[in-house]
Each structure stands twice: as structure tokens, then as C-alpha cells.
Amino acid sequence: MRIEAVRGDITEQDVDAIVNAANSSLMGGGGVDGAIHRAAGPQLLEECMELRRTDLPDGLPVGQAVPTAGYALRAPWVIHTVGPNRHRGETDPALLAACFTSSLDVADAVGARTVAFPAVSAGVYGWDPAEVARVAVDAVRGWTGDVELVRFVLFDDAVLAAFTRAL
Ligand code: AR6
């Protein structure tokens, strides 16, 4: 598997699946979640609402992942995961690692071969980007399956530098 880190906007990535740093409600929010919902269009929220009505009445647990279509995005799939929130005392790196491995499991299950990740939990959820980078890189390197490319897409130079160091 090839693993790379680039600076950019994840909504513009030409990959099979982009991962969303969502919250348990799946009802959208700020940061990368808001950007993905804006770029995908209103059908994304409709599919998320349907997921809440059916499979996920209590929301998506931290560390798990679920797929939807990408609608107006170039990526045919969006994989929603929920990172641990440091402001709520969620400081276990294993929970953060699970976001990356469960997203790759979902990518594999839908047949996605190229996957873009943001720095899950490194924004509103308060994790140090350097720790996110170490946990993410270790988790992806330790995962086995048919995904061929993982691209970390980082919004600013400091977070890109953290991922470049971790790689
Ligand atoms: N492309 C790539 N990265 C981005 C983009 C983008 N378009 N926009 C922001 N980032 P955050 P979290 C970076 O806060 O910490 C939301 O409200 C950002 O600079 O988006 O997991 C959800 O609904 C940071 O480095 O996610 C949840 O409530 C990284 O993405 C909560 O925030 C993650 O920042 C989740 O918080």
C-alpha cells in the first residue's frame, strides 16, 4: 500500500472514498464535516438522516465508521467516522487508531482502492496534530486489505509537517 501526505482540501480529492471527521449525530457540523456536506450537497444529509432512522438510532459510536454516497463530490464514497473528543476526556489513542482501521475496513467492504483521510480529531476535538499523525500512520501501516493508496490530506502546513515527520 502506498501512503502519502499532501496539503489540500479533502473535498477536491479524486479518490474512491474520502473520510469525514464527523460527530456521532451524523447531522453535520463545522470543520471538515461542514466542508464535505457543503461540497456533496443536501442529499448527503438526507442519507445520513436515513441511517439514523434505520441502522444508527443512537448515532455512530466513537471509533466506528459508516459509508454513504459522495453525491456531488468527485469521490463516489464518503466514509464517516467519529474521532475521540479530548474535551470530553476521550484520550485513548486506541480509539483514534480505530477510526483509521475501521474506515479502511469499510473502504475495503465497498471496494474502494484509494482513500483520503483528514487529520481526524486534530481540530475541534482537540488532539495534538503530531499525536494524530503518529497514531494514524501506525494504524494505516498495521492494516491489511485491498486498499492500494492512502492519502492524508491536511489543511495547513503545520499539520502537513506533522504527518510528513510521522511518515
Ligand atoms: N480538508 C482537509 N482538512 C480539513 C478541511 C478540509 N476541507 N477542513 C478542515 N480540515 P475538525 P475533529 C482539517 O475540527 O477535530 C465538526 O464540527 C482541520 O484543520 O474538522 O475530528 C464535526 O461535526 C483539522 O486539522 O474535526 C465534529 O463535531 C482536521 O481537518 C467535530 O468537528 C480535523 O478538524 C470533529 O472534530
User: Which of 126, 134, 156, 147 has the alpha carbon at shortest distance from 21?
Assistant: 126
- Please, is 70 exposed, middle or buried when counting C-beta atoms within 10 Å of its C-beta (0-12, 13-18, 19+)? buried
Q: Tens digits of per-residue pLDDT, 24-57?
A: 999 999 999 999 999 999 999 999 999 999 999 9
The whole-number pLDDT of residue 71 equals: 98
Q: Which of 16, 33, 92, 156 is catalytic?
A: 33
Ligand 1 atom index nearest CA of 21 = 21
pLDDT of residue 92: 98
Q: pTM value?
A: 0.98
Q: How confident is residue 95, by pLDDT bands cut at 50, 70 and 90? A: very high
- Residue 125 in contact with ligand 1 by CB distance below 6 A: yes
* ipTM value: 0.98
What is the signed CA dihedral for 75, 34, 159, 85, rounded to 10 degrees?
-120
CA 90 to chain centre: 17
Give the pLDDT score at 121.
98
First-to-last alpha carbon distance for the chain, in angstroms, is 13
Q: Is 33 a catalytic residue?
A: yes
User: Among 32, 79, 87, 160, which residue has the most ligand 1 atoms within 8 Å of its CB, making it the best to mutate?
Assistant: 32
Q: Whole-angstrom Cα distance, residue 143 to residue 151?
A: 15
| Helix spans in the chain (H) | 31-40, 42-53, 93-110, 129-142, 157-166
Mean pLDDT for 116-130 is: 98
